Amino acid sequence: MDYLQLGNSDLHVSRLCLGTWNMGGSKGWGPEDDERSIELIRRTQDSGCNFFDTAHAYGRGHAEQVLGRALAEGDRRSRAVISTKILQCEPATVEEQLDAALERLQTDYVDLYIVHWPREGHDLEAFFKTMNQMKEKDKARWIGVSNFNIEQMRLAARHGVVSLQPPYNILWRIIEPQVLPFCRENNIGITPYSPLAQGLLTGRFSRSTEKTTGIRRKNVLFKEPVFSKAREAASVVDEIADQHGCTSSQIALAWLLHTDGVTAPIVGISRWNQWQDNLGALDVRLSDGEHERLSRVGMEVWDMLPEDATMWD
């Protein structure tokens, strides 16, 4: 496993981050077996992963509880970098919500406390001041954000934010015009979620005629005419994967890992072999031409969507 410094923080995180959305047992991905999830978390840590992402929104805190149980064993907590997220709310409730998250996580601090979504009508400046008070109280070591646009990022940077968690993959390029260059210039680490475009870049839908089911039916990438174009782009991912003798998922992750500014893609798993496959991406070396070709076919999909597109209905 390779490790990188996360933005301007003193955190050194593994190049792959384990996400726990599917471990929350909430609607969307369906229920998961908690004991299996705990085993997976521990096995990923034993494989070299030290970066774990969760949120109160994942099963109303259930994913935090699962992660807390997994890392409570022995010295696992001290070897982990934990990020959790809070929806922007009234500043007066931030500490109460963080305390509840710390109890679920069985720890007295989080390494990275992330604003999950900014909300219109709420004072973002006042919210960041309260978030930084959590740093002063040693309840959060660093502050991050998720799903922020360029104006929000400029404000966030003034308050010492060290990371951005955006949707970003070969097909979904919303951060590239302004946000990605800003983060590079200001040394704000990028930890993309949905790196495999909800499975579109795994070969699952491009190498077969599998139909869209479940939560994916709400994803704009899975709706026509975008879906057909996305499958064409995914076929190029498959082609390059075949040439490298690896999986489509590994190529899609390698594209991110070789994109300047990206620190650690966030990947979710429900089986151990999925994590093993993800690890293989660290050994893939794309040529500049291959990276450019993937960027080009992915942009053809992105160009079908409005500039302010949201992934979910």
Residues carrying an active site annotation: 58
Give 10's DSSP letter. Answer: S
> In degrees rounded to 5, what are phi and psi of residue 92?
-65, -20
Query: What number of helices (H) and strands (E) belong to the chain?
Result: 10, 10
Task: Give me the residue label for tokens 């007066």.
Answer: 92
Give 312's DSSP letter. Answer: B
Q: How far from each other are the two terminal CA atoms of the chain, in whole angstroms?
A: 36
Please report how many Cα atoms fall inside a 13 Å half-sphere around the Cα of residue 278, on the Cβ side.
Answer: 27
**Conformational region of residue 9, where left means phi above 0, alpha means psi within -120 to 50, and beta covers everything else:** beta
Contact 173, 302 (CB under 8 A): yes
Q: Which residues of 132-142 are buried (b: 16+ CB within 10 A; e: fewer)?
A: bebeeeebbbb
Query: Which of 202, 298, 282, 284 has the alpha carbon at shortest distance from 243?
Result: 284
Q: Is the peptide bond before 225 cis (omega within 30 degrees of 0)?
A: yes
Sort strands 189-190 and 266-268 into parallel, antiparallel or unpaired: unpaired
Q: Which two tokens stand for residue 177?
A: 């015009």
